[in-house]
Amino acid sequence: MDSEQTSLSFEEFLGILRRRAPLILLCVVLLAGASYGYAKHKTRMYTATAELAFNNSQIDQQIAGLSTNSGLTPLVQQQSNLELVKVGNMAVETADLLGHGLTPEKVGASVSVAGQGESSIVDVLASSSSPILAAAIANTYAGQFVKKQQSTNRGFFKSALALVNRQLASLSPAQRYGADGLDLEDRAHTLSLLAGLDYNNVELAQEALVPSSPSSPKVSKDTALGAVLGLLLGLVVAFLLERFDRRIRKPEDLETIYGLPMLGVVPKSAALSGSSRRARGNKGAALAPADAEAFSLIRAHLRFFNIDRELRALVIASPAPGDGKSTVARHLAEAAARSGSRVLLLEVDLRHPTLAQQLAIQPGPGLAGALIGTIATEQAIQSVSSEVTVGATGGHKLDVLMAGSVLPPNPGELLESRAMDSLLEWAKSRYDLVVIDTPPLTAVSDPFPLLTKVDGVVLVGRVGHSRRDAAEGLQQILAGSGAPLLGVIANGAKSSSLGSYAAPAGGASSAGVITSANGSSSSSSSSSEELTPTA
C-alpha cells in the first residue's frame, strides 16, 4: 500500500512547523549566536576608496595617427580600465613608499578595484585594521598608477613625435609643403605640446578619506544573516526528519494504512499512560471525563456491528509493543460492563502480561493453568467491580481471566490447542462480550490462530509512536488471513489532532474506579450508553 503523500497541504505544513518548532528555533539561536560571537571577536577592518577617472576619447591615438577602436562599448571599456589598474608593479612601489612592515603581497591582498557601472570611474579600495593606513594604501596605489600612466603617455608621445619627424625628413621639399607634409607638421607640433604638458588619460578624481567606521564585521548584519541561515537550516532538517520519520502522525493515517473505519480516538492522557503506577500508588484516582467518554464512544460504535452479526468475542490487537493495546482492551471492557453487559476480559499474552499490574490484583493460576487443566476455568476467573461514580457502591461486575503467575514455555501451542478453542466457546456462551488482549502481532505469532475464531478484530495504533512500516506489514499479513477486521482505534492522540473524532464536551460520562474482589482498586470510567456515535 502506498501511504506516502506526494505533496503537503497547508495544514500539514503548519503541523510540521509546530512539531519541529523547538528544533528550528534551536538552529536559529545557535547560528545567530555563532555569527554574533564570530563578528564580535573578529578583527575590525577599515576600507578606504580612491577614485580614478579615465579619459576614453582615445585622442592620443588619433593625434599619433593610429587607428582607434570606436566600437568598444562602455562596459567593455570599463573592463579594460579595470585590468589596466591591476597590472604593473604598483603593489611593490606602494610597499616601498609606505613602509610600516608592508610587503608587496600584503598590499596586493589588501587592494581591490571595482568599476562604477558603465562609467569611466574606477574605485581603488584598500582594507586594513588601521583606518589611516587603509587611506594611505589606497591613495598611494592610485597615485602611483596615475604617475605610471603619465610616464607611459610621455614616452608614447615622444616616440610618436620621433616617428613623425622621421617621416617629415624623408619628404622632398615639394612634398613637405604639400597636404601630407603640412598634416605631419601639425601632428608634430601637437605631439610636442602634449609631451611638454604631461598629458595623461587618467587622473585621481577623489582621494581616499580616512574611514570613520569599520567595513567589517557588521555585527547586526552578520547576526541577522546567521539567524536567516539558521532558519533555513532548521527548516531543511525539520522536513528531512519528517520525510524519514516513519511514525504515524494522525488518526487518519491508521484508516489509510489498514483501509478500515475509525472506531474511536483515545486522547493522550497521563492517567492512561500511567495506569499501572496509578493502580499501585493512587487507588482512588479516576479517569478524566474526556478519557472515559472516548471508551464509551468506542463501545457505542461497536454496538452497530450487532445489526448483521452477533459480536460476542472481540480481539484487541496491535502491531508492536507500546501501542496501548492492553490499556484499550481493559477500559473498553470496563465501559461494556458498566452498561450492564456480562463481560470477560481475557488476557492471552502468555509472554509479557500486564493486566494484573494495571488492575493491581494477583495474577493467580490464570489462563495458563486453565488450559493445562491445573485449575477449573471458573476458579481462574477473578471479578472486579466497575463503580459508576467515584465513591459509589453496587457497581457492575467485570470478570477478568489473567494470563497467570507462571508463564508456560510453549504459549503458541497452548493458544492453538483444542483446550483454548473449548475455553473460547465456553466464554462466548456465558458472556455477552469477551474482550481478548493479545500480544503484539508483529512480535510473535502466538495469537494468529485466534483471529479467525472470534467475531471481530480491532487494531490499535498509538499516534506519534507506532511505526508506519510495522502497520503496513501487519496490514499485508491480515489482508489474506480471513480475520474479521472491524476497525481501528487511534490511541494517544493530542487534542489538536482529534478533529472530528473528538468526544462531545458535555457528554453524560463520569469517572469511576475498578474495585477487585479483595478490595484493591484502580481507575476506570463510566458513561451513559445512550450516545450517538460520531460519523
Q: Are 347 and 333 in contact (CB under 8 A)?
A: no
Cα separation, 252 vs 259, in Å, equals 10
At 395-419, the pLDDT tens digits run: 568 899 998 888 888 888 888 899 9
Lowest-confidence pick of 13-17, 106-110, 452-456:
13-17
Q: What is the pLDDT of residue 62?
A: 53
* Within a domain: 308: yes
**Which are the contacts of 340, defined by CB distance < 8 A and separation ≥ 6?**
396
| Whether residue 284 is found in the same domain as residue 194 | no
At 473-521, the pLDDT tens digits run: 888 888 888 889 999 998 877 765 555 555 444 343 333 333 333 333 3
Cα separation, 476 vs 482, in Å, equals 12
Q: Which helix (H) or strand (E) holds 313?
A: strand 313-317
**Which are the contacts of 162, defined by CB distance < 8 A and separation ≥ 6?**
none
Does residue 428 sit in helix, strand or coil? Answer: helix
| Whether residue 192 is found in the same domain as residue 279 | no
Q: What is the pLDDT of residue 253?
A: 83
Distance of CA 187 to the CA centre of its chain: 76
Sign of CA dihedral 286, 290, 291, 293: positive
At 148-191, the pLDDT tens digits run: 888 887 777 777 778 877 887 788 777 777 777 778 778 777 77
* Within a domain: 331: yes
| Whether residue 174 is found in the same domain as residue 121 | yes
Query: How far apart, in Å, are the Cα atoms of 509 and each of 61, 391, 393, 489?
Result: 102, 15, 17, 19
- What's the pLDDT band for 316 if we cut at 50, 70, 90? very high
- What's the pLDDT band for 3 if we cut at 50, 70, 90? very low
* Within a domain: 20: no
| Whether residue 304 is found in the same domain as residue 426 | yes
Q: Would you tell me the crossing angle of helices 21-41 and 10-19 to the nearest 10 degrees?
A: 60
State percent of the chain over pLDDT 70.
80
| Whether residue 479 is found in the same domain as residue 428 | yes
Q: Which of these three, 157, 189, 216, is where a domain ends?
A: 216
| Whether residue 358 is found in the same domain as residue 431 | yes
* Within a domain: 278: yes
Nearest Cα to Cα of residue 441 among 480, 478, 469:
478
pTM, rounded to two decimals: 0.57
Adjacent-strand bridge partners of 386: 396, 514
Does residue 13 sit in helix, strand or coil? Answer: helix
Q: What is the CATH number for 284?
A: 3.40.50.300
| Whether residue 483 is found in the same domain as residue 351 | yes
User: What count of other Cβ atoms lies within 10 Å of the Cβ of residue 498?
Assistant: 20
Adjacent-strand bridge partners of 114: 123
| Whether residue 84 is found in the same domain as residue 137 | yes
Domain count, the chain: 2
Cα separation, 325 vs 327, in Å, equals 6
User: What count of other Cβ atoms lies within 10 Å of the Cβ of residue 26?
Assistant: 14
At 252-269, the pLDDT tens digits run: 888 888 889 999 888 887
Report residue 514 as a C-alpha cell.
Answer: 475498578
Report residue 533 as a C-alpha cell.
Answer: 456515535
* Within a domain: 192: yes
Q: HEC states along 168-235?
A: HHCCCHHHHCCHHHHHHHHHHHHHHHHHHHCCCCEEEEECCCCCCCCCECCHHHHHHHHHHHHHHHHH
Does residue 343 sit in helix, strand or coil? Answer: strand
Q: What is the CATH number for 104?
A: 3.30.1890
* Within a domain: 7: no
Q: What is the pLDDT of residue 442?
A: 83
User: What count of other Cβ atoms lies within 10 Å of the Cβ of residue 386?
Assistant: 23
Cα separation, 147 vs 154, in Å, equals 10
| Whether residue 151 is found in the same domain as residue 290 | no
* Within a domain: 518: no
Cα separation, 341 vs 245, in Å, equals 42
Query: What DSSP letter does each residue of 243-275 carry, written as one string?
Result: HH--B--SHHHHHHHHT--EEEEEEP-HHHHTH
Report residue 144 as a C-alpha cell.
Answer: 602611483
Domain that holds residue 117: 43-216
* Within a domain: 72: yes
**Which are the contacts of 296, defined by CB distance < 8 A and separation ≥ 6?**
335, 507, 509, 525, 527, 528, 529, 531
